[in-house]
């Protein structure tokens, strides 16, 4: 029965994602909002690969999200006007940075790990903020746009067509979450869960804990960089706020809000966060206060997140 429920839930999620541009308008949304849900949902799920399934908290994932965004934008503006190549460069830049930094901090745990990730993230933020000639500084990197996709047999205009870009983002999202799901179901994924549950026992069993955490960190940041690349293309713009620590906090909120120990929880949390932000911010500048209160209520009374509430109701 659980297997059937899980398959039904997966099918329902994919059906909603595939049809989102057609029903978002009926609830007061728009296609670009759906694209933001997809992109930030991917970033939250990337963080959750490390937080929810490995048990390691990072408050610096915005650094790799932002590096993916800047790598993509700078490739189009300064190197080659190619959307696929720009995404690839953005992901490579973010992943290389994660591999280097991960090797330096992998032996830290708990608060120390979280604080060190913030520190490294702020280094990238201040570089982007100060290097005006290249990054545009506080004004952001402008003067570039995402390019049409040339597939040989057809050209897809993702600049003037919000639906086309949404389905491009959804295709990338599908590949990314498919890879994540395969990794979590593999022996590697089971080892990460063992480390999360009891690191000391995992070490006694001969598991190379540091190497697994490092690899989980790099994989997590790779997908965060991919989300950042899509975010830059979505906005045709990026600025230092894509690297700032408070964006990392938003990713954590999304993961916890939806349910950080479930696969789809961060996507649900991202959808709630993005829609609430869009709706409440159109009525008041203090929109973060309302999201903060909602987050506190969920953590206090429903520690397994919104998806945990839904699962409990279905089980009853």
Residue 298 lies in a domain: no
Digit-coded pLDDT (tens) for 109-142: 889 999 999 999 999 999 999 999 999 999 999 9
Both tokens assigned to 268: 């649900």
| Closest to 194 measured CA to CA, from 209, 214, 179, 216 | 209
Domain count, the chain: 1
Q: Tell me how far apart the alpha carbons of residues 35 and 158 are, in angstroms, rounded to a whole number.
A: 12
**Residue 286's pLDDT band (boundaries 50, 70, 90)?**
confident
Residue 99 lies in a domain: yes
Residue 44 lies in a domain: yes
User: What is the rounded average pLDDT for all residues in the chain?
Assistant: 92
Digit-coded pLDDT (tens) for 157-173: 888 889 999 999 999 99
Please report the pLDDT score of residue 242 as a whole number: 95
* Residue range 23-42: mean pLDDT, rounded: 93
CB 61 within 8 A of CB 225: no
Q: Tell me how far apart the alpha carbons of residues 223 and 65 are, in angstroms, rounded to a whole number.
A: 8
What three-state secondary structure class fits 160?
coil
Q: What is the DSSP letter of 141?
A: B
Residue 147 lies in a domain: yes
Q: What angle do CA 294, 263, 206 make, to 5 degrees?
A: 120
Please give the residue range of the domain that contains residue 169: 30-244
- Please report where in the chains the tokens 């050209």 appear, as a residue: 155
Residue 196 lies in a domain: yes
**Residue 180's pLDDT band (boundaries 50, 70, 90)?**
very high
Please report the pLDDT score of residue 4 as a whole number: 47
Pairing of strands 149-150, 155-156: antiparallel
Find all residues with CB under 8 Å of 22, minimum gap 6, and list them: none
User: What phi and psi values does residue 155 have, to the nearest 5 degrees?
Assistant: -110, 130
CB 17 within 8 A of CB 39: no
Residue 88 lies in a domain: yes
Residue 269 lies in a domain: no
Ramachandran assignment for 206, one of left (phi > 0), alpha (psi -120 to 50 degrees), beta (any other): left
CB 52 within 8 A of CB 265: yes
Q: What is the DSSP letter of 179?
A: H
Q: Tell me how far apart the alpha carbons of residues 271 and 75 are, in angstroms, rounded to a whole number.
A: 29
Residue 23 lies in a domain: no
CA dihedral 130, 135, 138, 143 (to 10 degrees): 160
pLDDT at 2 over 70: no
Q: Tell me how far apart the alpha carbons of residues 59 and 57 are, in angstroms, rounded to a whole number.
A: 7
């Amino acid at each position: 029965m659980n297997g059937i429920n899980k398959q039904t839930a997966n099918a329902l999620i994919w059906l909603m994602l595939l049809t989102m541009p057609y029903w978002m308008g009926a609830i007061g949304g728009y296609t670009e909002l759906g694209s933001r849900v997809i992109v930030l949902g991917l970033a939250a799920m990337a963080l959750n690969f490390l937080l929810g399934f490995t048990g390691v908290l990072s408050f610096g994932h915005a650094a790799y999200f932002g590096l993916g965004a800047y790598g993509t934008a700078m490739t189009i503006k300064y190197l080659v006007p190619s959307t696929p190549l720009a995404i690839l460069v953005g992901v490579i830049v973010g992943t290389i940075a994660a591999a280097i930094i991960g090797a330096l901090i992998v032996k830290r745990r708990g608060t120390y790990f979280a604080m060190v990730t913030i520190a490294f993230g702020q280094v990238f933020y201040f570089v982007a903020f100060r290097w005006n000639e290249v990054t545009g500084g506080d004004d952001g990197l402008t003067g570039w746009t995402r390019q049409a996709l040339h597939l040989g047999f057809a050209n897809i205009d993702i600049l003037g067509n919000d639906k086309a870009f949404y389905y491009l983002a959804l295709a990338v999202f599908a590949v990314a979450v498919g890879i994540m799901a395969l990794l979590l179901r593999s022996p590697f994924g089971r080892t990460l869960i063992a480390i999360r549950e009891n690191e000391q026992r995992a070490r006694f069993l001969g598991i190379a804990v540091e190497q697994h955490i490092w690899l989980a960190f790099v994989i997590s940041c790779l997908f965060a960089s991919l989300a950042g690349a899509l975010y830059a293309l979505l906005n045709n713009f990026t600025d230092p706020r894509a690297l700032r620590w408070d964006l990392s906090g938003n990713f954590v909120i999304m993961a916890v809000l939806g349910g950080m120990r479930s696969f789809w929880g961060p996507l649900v949390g991202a959808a709630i966060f993005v829609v609430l932000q869009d709706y409440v911010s159109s009525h008041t500048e203090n929109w973060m206060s309302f999201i903060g209160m909602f987050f506190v209520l969920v953590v206090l009374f429903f520690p397994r997140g919104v998806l945990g509430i839904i699962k409990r109701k279905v089980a009853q």
